[in-house]
Amino acid sequence: MDKKQKKEQLQKLHSNEFFNNVLNLARDEDEKRKIRAFAEEIYINIVQGGLTSQKIITEHPEKLVDIAEGRISRDKEPVVIKDT
């Protein structure tokens, strides 16, 4: 995810009503800053994870089928596919 995409995703987070309500419940600016930083980090990690999963599924649909049909055992050491 480049800086432009990250900025767009953070704008979506900042326009979220629930996010803003939680920030309004904070007692002081320091607490708001900590909540905002934590939420932004978690949100970006979730979005990046979703995009990585989507890319892996798109590039390796046969692996998804194998997992869904139970042909890949949880006991076997998984092959990690890195997003580059």
Q: Residue 40 carries which side chain, given as an amino acid letter?
A: E
* pLDDT less than 70: residues of the chain: 72-79, 83-84
Tell me what pLDDT residue 17 has: 96
- Model pTM? 0.70
Distance CA 43, CA 22 (A): 15
What's residue 74's pLDDT? 59
User: Structure tokens of 2?
Assistant: 């480049």
Q: Look at residue 84 in the predicted model and tell me its pLDDT.
A: 56
